[in-house]
Chain A
Amino acid sequence: MPQTDPRPLLLVDARLVDPSTGRDERGGLLIDNGVIREVGPSVVASSAPNGAEIVDCRGVVVAPGLIDMQAFAGEPGAEHRETMRTISQAAAAGGVTSVACLPNTDPPVDGPAIVDFLLRRARDRSIVRIYPLAALTKGRLGEEMTEIGLLKEAGAVAFTDGPQAIVNAQVMRRILVYAQETNALVVHHVEDPKLVGDGVMNEGEFCSRLGLAGIPREAETIMLERDIRLVRLTGGRYHAAIVSCAASLDVIRRAKADGLQVTCGTSINHLTLNENDVGQYRSFCKVAPPLRHEDDRLACVDALEDGTIDVVVSDHNPQDVETKRLPFAECADGAIGVETMLSAGLRLVHDGQVSLNRLMHAMSTKPAELLGVPGGSLKPGLPGDVILLDADLPWVVDRADLKSRSKNSPFDEARLTGRVVKTIVAGRVVYDYR
């Protein structure tokens, strides 16, 4: 975690976008001793305290820093793919000021000592805030629950087995019940591995033409419906990590209408790409769950706007050349995304499909609320984690410029409009474009 900058930092003449209140107006923001002190139209240059650094925003957006609920940080065990240092630099460049790191490391994050290790590594190496996610089951084997209470005390913010579902419904039931002792959030990857089978992309005509084995949408929907049935039985806080198809959204809508504590996320990939992006076997577009049909993507966009989808994650999954430069069926799943998630998401804003406030809510306010971490708001008293976003700045993604240790970006060479120009964590500038 970066050190707090005790000097006051005054941002003036900004477009203040605060998704926690719906604020969208011209004004200024003062951070002092790493904490937001004042915000609003009355905050101007002349009100600067002594010694303050003043930044004239010239009308660009000032918003809370992004909180990414699902990213793979490499440590421990996969430092050739990503490290705390590299993911934090990538996050800062993408306007992400807090990253929740997946527990599918080697060894997995299934004990308090590893949570402690991660927090120390983050303290020493990371320029953004890092929050460990801990495993739901020991060894992520889907059989015995982890020490949810002790892990939470050690600093785990939520629980998930990463990109792997708990197939045994009895185990899932017990976890949902026990997690309530500590009001822990259970995050689940909803894909039935048996129904996924040998599948490598969305089942359908396009997949059949490519001669690849398909993954039916039902692999996701059946697992999600099972989980919702269990939550009806047990209660508890349940979050479906990534939903990708229209039928799943209907399941979520029903669960929410019935008053269950159910939320869901989707990835930036599923909001902005579809199965056709696989094209001629592009391995960077192989993700889990798979990119779906355009109809499913549009359903996800609508669901983001209407609030059915609570959270947008990067699902940042760095893979090196050895695991990606293989035939499509044999290559690893995953795409990096923490650095491009906001710019890619702005496509939806520029197309008029989602408001900026709504997008920012799903990328900051809601993740903060679900994980119980500070941030996601411009309210005074909260950490000075904010971004300056030039929403109209055109740029082209070049993998050579990406900060992540791995370069498997499906957005390589994409033309995007809008990017973060400054990222501030605890009042200190950790990223400056140009």
Chain B
Amino acid sequence: MSAATAPPSSFPHRHLLGIDGLSRADIVALLDMAEDYVALSRQVEKKKATLRGRTQINLFFEPSTRTQSSFELAGKRLGADVMNMSVASSSVKKGETLIDTAATLNAMRPDIIVVRHHAAGAVHLLSRKVDCSVVNAGDGQHEHPTQALLDALTIRRNKGRIEGLTIVICGDIMHSRVARSNMILLQALGARLRVCGPRTLLPVGVERMGVEVFGDLKKALVGADIVMMLRLQRERMNGGFVPSSKEYFRYWGLDAEKLAFAKADALVMHPGPMNRGVEISSEVADGAQSLIREQVEMGVAVRMAVMEALARNLPNH
């Protein structure tokens, strides 16, 4: 069996439910592993046999294009059999509960389940009901750990480090799992974090989470190395949280004029999908300072690293 040659596990977790709970060493180990997979993914032959014979189920209770396909590619490149299950939340409400679904899937004996769910804590709940490893692909407004890892990898490859960088996260912080995971991860690696957005979209108590809070994006950008823009959901644009997308773009949308307040070599990121003209201008999104496409590439590598790290802890017989 290949188990004899597998290196001893350096990632002491059965699941990846969030960045919260990972040590700095855990994070760095995942990023280092992901570097190898970036190289692998650029070859013609992209396949490894690490997960050969393993079954991976992508269980998505919320629609997702990029995250689901990224996990699917990652699993396939590692040799796993990958099954996608998209469960529209409406059909779940008709009967089967999350726990029933978990029990059903568990009986099919998967090795890894990748879960996205619209409720915070749902992935945590599911992980207690199954025997396999669980990866959180986004739970409500709680965490999206692989997004934070891929953001960190993108930053490290472009800046050579994360420690000491000034990073601005701008937009709908309150409803963003990406922001939550990034705030924990980037601080664990020693970055200086600033968050910026309208007060209605900042979570209560954010000032006690170790970040500097700004209302004015131009002020937040002064001295910034990295600018992360967040997506503003359509239902929050029209009077509920901000008066209009037009007013939002005026004050919190990133265009070339505002970006000029950041350092000359500042880089721009966005977890996608973008609302061009709402939180970011096309000029900036497609410009020389944008890392947005590279983030997508890093996503596959990071997810391969996560699954390999978890697979090392799976039983082999």
**What is A's interface to B at a CB cutoff of 8 Å?**
203-214, 280-281, 322, 325-330
A213 (CB) vs chain B CBs: closest residue: B141
A205 pairs with B205, CB closer than 8 A: yes
B98 in the interface (beta carbon within 8 A)? yes
Bitwise, B91-104 to A at CB < 8 A (1) or not (0) is 00000011100000
Contact A281 B121 (CB under 8 A): yes
Q: CB-nearest residue of chain B relative to A281?
A: B121
Q: A204-B205, A280-B124 are in contact. Are A211 and B142 (CB under 8 A)?
A: yes
A209: B residues at CB distance < 8 A: 20, 180, 209
> Given contacts A211-B141, A212-B141, are A281 and B120 in contact (CB under 8 A)?
yes
Q: Contact check, A211 vs B204: say whether CB atoms are below 8 A apart.
A: no
| B20 contacts across to A, CB distance below 8 A | 209
A interface footprint on B79-114 (CB within 8 Å = 1, 0 otherwise): 000000000000000000111000000000000000
Decide if B209 touches A329 in the complex (CB within 8 Å): no
* B206 at the A interface (CB under 8 A): yes
**Complex CA distance for A281 and B123, rounded to whole angstroms:** 11
B139 CB within 8 Å of chain A? yes
Contact with A along B175-217 (1 / 0, CB 8 A): 0010010000000000000000000000111101100000000
Q: Do A212 and B120 touch (CB < 8 A)?
A: yes
- Chain B: residues with Cβ within 8 Å of the partner, total of 25
Q: Looking at the complex, which one of B119, B142, B180, B204 makes contact with A330 (CB distance below 8 Å)?
A: B119
Interface string of B120-132 (1 = CB under 8 A from A): 1110110000000
CA distance A207 to B20 in the complex (A): 14
> Is residue B140 within 8 Å, beta carbon to beta carbon, of the partner chain?
yes
List residues of chain B with CB within 8 A of the CB of A325: 97, 99, 125
Cβ-defined partner of A210 (8 Å) among B120, B174, B208:
B120
CA distance A149 to B20 in the complex (A): 57
Do residues A326 and B120 form an inter-chain contact, with CB atoms below 8 A?
A: no
**B116 interfacial contact with A, CB 8 Å:** no
13 further contact pairs, Cβ within 8 A, besides A205-B208, A212-B121? A204-B205, A205-B205, A211-B120, A211-B140, A211-B141, A211-B180, A212-B120, A213-B141, A326-B99, A327-B117, A327-B121, A329-B120, A330-B119
Cβ of A207: which chain B residues have Cβ within 8 Å of it? 204-205
B151 within 8 A of partner (CB): no
B143: Cβ under 8 A from any A Cβ: yes
Given contacts A205-B204, A211-B139, A212-B141, A327 and B125 within 8 Å (CB-CB): yes
A326-B98 contact in complex given A211-B140, A281-B121, C-beta closer than 8 Å: yes
Chain B residues in contact with chain A, CB under 8 A? Answer: 20, 97-99, 117, 119-122, 124-125, 139-143, 174, 177, 180, 203-206, 208-209
In the assembled complex, which residues on chain A have CB atoms less than 8 Å from the CB atom of B97?
Answer: 322, 325-326
Whether A327 pairs with B120 at a CB distance below 8 angstroms is yes
- C-alpha spacing A330/B174, complex, angstroms: 19
Q: Are A328 and B203 in contact (CB under 8 A)?
A: no
Q: Across the interface, do B204 and A327 meet the contact criterion of CB distance under 8 Å?
A: no
Q: Chain A residues near B180 (CB, 8 Å)?
A: 209, 211
CA separation between A204 and B207, bound complex, in Å?
11
> In the complex, what residue of chain B is closest to A204 when comparing beta carbons?
B205
List 16 A-B pairs, Cβ < 8 Å: A205-B208, A208-B174, A208-B203, A208-B205, A211-B121, A211-B139, A211-B141, A212-B120, A212-B140, A212-B141, A280-B124, A281-B125, A326-B97, A327-B98, A327-B117, A329-B119
**Interchain CA distance A79-B179 in the complex, whole Å:** 44
B123 to chain A: closest residue by CB: A327
B139, closest chain A residue (CB): A211
Q: Say yes or no: A328 contacts B204, CB within 8 Å.
A: no
Bound-state Cα–Cα, A322 to B97, Å: 8
A302, B97: Cα distance in complex, Å: 42
Cα A205 to Cα B122 in complex, Å, equals 20
Considering the chains assembled together, what is the distance between the CA atoms of A203 and B99 in angstroms? 27
Complex Cα gap A205–B211 (Å): 13
Instruction: Quote the shortest CB–CB distance from A260 to chain B (angstroms).
Output: 33
For A206, the chain B residues whose CB sits under 8 A away are 205
Chain A nearest CB, measured from B216 CB (Å): 22
Which residue on B lies nearest to A327, using beta carbons? B119
A209 to B124, CA, bound (A): 14
A330 CA / B177 CA spacing, docked (Å) = 18
A328 and B209 within 8 A (CB): no
Please measure, in the bound complex, the distance between the C-alpha atom of A211 and the C-alpha atom of B136, giving whole angstroms. Answer: 14
Task: Give, as a whole number of angstroms, the nearest-CB distance from A407 to chain B.
Answer: 16
- Which of B99, B120, B204 sits near A204, CB closer than 8 Å? B204
A328 touches B99 (CB 8 A): no
Closest A residue to B202 by beta carbon equals A208
Distance between A202 CB and nearest chain B CB, rounded to angstroms: 10
Q: For residue B119, which residues in chain A have a CB less than 8 angstroms away from its CB?
A: 327-330
Distance of B140 from chain A, by nearest CB (Å) = 5
Give the residue name and chain of the B residue nearest to A205 (CB): B205
CA distance A155 to B142 in the complex (A): 48
Instruction: Give Cα A281 to B17, complex, Å.
Output: 13
What distance in Å separates the Cβ of B290 from its nearest Cβ neighbour in chain A? 28
